[in-house]
Structure 1
């Protein structure tokens, strides 16, 4: 264990957080105005300069929020600085009125987004992001005006337009990697409109080699060695050498869960350490990539849900932060894996994403989940067969707007609802789900 701890022991800057007293700004309610009766945030992502937050929502809208707070940057901690008195989660002051600077309604469900490398308002040429919308080409979108700068189509063997479930740029921004069903499309960013180069992660449908399933998450190493990590809904993780001529896989291995990978992420200073998380899992696994691939540690977070629960590592590489279905964040030390987590109750609902600001001492959280109302529980109990007669649905081929978090008391209501049941609920004469959402900006310091 000591050898594995040395893999992540870069510095000993530990997050000091004061819980709800550290709230800076909140967006909820009218900040997410929509034609939909109820809305739900799926994730939040910082631009590279820490000045803008991108959010994906249930109502098929991408919203950008400007970070106008002037906080301490890295290397300048101030333990005596405080948040204005009265900041709270109940919206009793002006910090609760955070409106998006840009709202972009998409034509269909948003499957994935990614900021352009080194994005920031001070460099308009780089202030943009890519968005993948179901059955549409990938669009490179200007973050100032919302106009489309370029398009990158993925055409399958039936000549249909396919949208990827995951995307990531190379470090220099010249290449875009997009993951979809048993394939990764590789685009030259400077040649828009043209088809990319396709790498099939599975040689054939009957092949036992390669990586099966939809490529649901991508991450590229931060040390510019060109290693791409790809997680799939088949619960496999593949490592690919992007600098080789044939984009060959270094290794493909199976995770400990069989519920599909929801996130992979390299340690910011050591590309021999990979973190991974799965749906319906309470664990974040740490993988040692040096010799034989093995998980040397796991961090706990409540995550028994189809909803993606995202984690992050701070820019110093010393702290891992994660949300959970219990509305709490947990902050783990990476330099001492034996230490328990710092735990803070920040939201009344599931925290679907937590992300550190890359340039300042702050982080974002977004919360919300689908919750069955009482009428829906009765519908399930009266129409769905018992556990003995039902089969577990592990088909992840649908898009994310078919994810369901069931909070019910009866045994039948605790079933993992499949897409067919969701459609029955939505087609009924009452609203099946109670949805609520919240986006919060928090301040922290280092010790």
Structure 2
């Protein structure tokens, strides 16, 4: 968060600004000065930076600090991560990655958190302020909602708590929001609760809010212009028209998932919506104009109730998702029309353009950089302890019992593993020069 990305080369930009004869041309061509880079052109991902978390030696076995989400800031200077039992971390992007390309022999940076907020309780959701700019300190903030706490806004420079937005129920009890997001222009906060959607004015923290009743808990939210999509644990997705005053008008509902919806996201053009659910191996692509059935069904591996994030590139050409198998899947709209041509006869068919086995553990977090060809991935999940290992430590008569076979699992649904990988990794997904 120390400086903003330059959209053009510094010397070129200064020469245009200083030459009065080129000012008019510079203003005319300003919209095309920055062109989003081509992604996955080398078909090789180069590891740039890494950061990891591990349980302290004196902590209980059920204390496991695994990642539960990562999101790039809107200006691309830093990455916000939520770590289970360890609060929120902010990690800055190294300065040498702001411009230019990378060399295949580049040394991998080990990153430290510049801000660490040790929040107690389970963090349900988090979101950057959409107008965040490192040159404007008052715009550098994010909001979180967690267990037994209101919606809180945090300063991205010093990690201090700026203000809170509190929602109260009918008996005047403060209740936590399950999901939270900003509207497109960042003037209002939309928070999803078990029975209500509540809208807060960003400039008026406290308990003043607008309220709209819903029939099922709002597990995740997504906004685009005047549209609001609300995912629920009852497997449905609701569409609302959101007015400037914060009122909602229902448009319709979409059904298709077999589990509770955990993540939804609009495409950059605002015409399509992608959704994912718990214990559901499908990503559904919807056309919000004809939402009765999905446009396409994409496959990934989701074997747990954990939220598995996906992301869409700012250019709208790439859809990237993780999975509980640690494999990153990429759909390129130029190669595979992932936004249409649904095949209902085989909804588990893998038609992804690229597959990258990047992690040995669950890859639950995906975030594409807003300006650079850099992908942030986060890995980790809760690992259960095998109860059989406890019995193995108890002395037994070898004539009375057979040795346990470590390769045999008593229940196929339960997987016991001590190979945990709790890491945040930045990958280069653009052109790699001088590669052999």
Deviations 1:117-148 (A, max 9, x none): 12132210110011112111111111111111
1:314 aligns with: 313
1:250 aligns with: 251
Match of 2:223 among 220, 223, 230: 220
1:277 counterpart = 2:276: yes
TM-score, structure 2 as length reference:
0.77
Cα shift at 1:13: 4.8
Between the aligned partners of 1:47 and 1:105, the Cα distance in structure 2 is: 20
Cα shift at 1:357: 0.6
| Counterpart contact for 2:150–2:166, Cα < 8 Å | yes
| Counterpart contact for 2:380–2:422, Cα < 8 Å | yes
1:403 aligns with: none
Deviations 1:30-61 (A, max 9, x none): 69999665311100011111111111111141
- What secondary structure sits across from 1:125 in the alignment? helix
2:137 aligns with: 124
1:361 counterpart = 2:373: yes
Between the aligned partners of 1:445 and 1:15, the Cα distance in structure 2 is: 6
TM-score, structure 1 as length reference:
0.75
Between the aligned partners of 1:240 and 1:294, the Cα distance in structure 2 is: 17
Between the aligned partners of 2:233 and 2:408, the Cα distance in structure 1 is: 29
2:32 aligns with: none
- What secondary structure sits across from 2:234 in the alignment? coil
| Counterpart contact for 1:71–1:361, Cα < 8 Å | no
The number of aligned residues is: 367
2:49 aligns with: 25
Cα shift at 1:253: 2.3
2:294 aligns with: 295
Cα shift at 1:327: 1.1
Distance 1:289 1:146, change over 3 A: same
1:165 aligns with: 178
- What secondary structure sits across from 2:89 in the alignment? strand
- What secondary structure sits across from 1:193 in the alignment? coil
Distance 1:17 1:298, change over 3 A: farther
1:384 aligns with: none
- What secondary structure sits across from 1:25 in the alignment? strand
- What secondary structure sits across from 2:387 in the alignment? helix
1:144 aligns with: 157
Between the aligned partners of 1:376 and 1:236, the Cα distance in structure 2 is: 39
Deviations 1:212-248 (A, max 9, x none): 2x20110111xx3x00111011111011111276411
Between the aligned partners of 1:30 and 1:83, the Cα distance in structure 2 is: 29
Between the aligned partners of 1:292 and 1:194, the Cα distance in structure 2 is: 35
Between the aligned partners of 1:234 and 1:303, the Cα distance in structure 2 is: 17
Could you say which structure has the larger radius of gyration?
2
1:351 counterpart = 2:363: yes
Q: Which has the higher contact order (CA 8 A, sep 6+)?
A: 1
1:439 counterpart = 2:427: no
Deviations 1:395-436 (A, max 9, x none): xxxxxxxxxxxx9953535169xxxxxxxxxxxxxx997754
Q: How does 1:85-124 map to 2 (within 5 A)?
A: 85=106, 87=108, 95=109, 97-124=110-137
Q: Could you say what the CA RMSD is over the residues aligned between the two structures, in angstroms?
A: 2.9
Q: How does 1:141-220 map to 2 (within 5 A)?
A: 141-202=154-215, 212=216, 214-220=217-223
- What secondary structure sits across from 1:312 in the alignment? strand
Distance 1:27 1:415, change over 3 A: closer
| Counterpart contact for 2:329–2:352, Cα < 8 Å | no
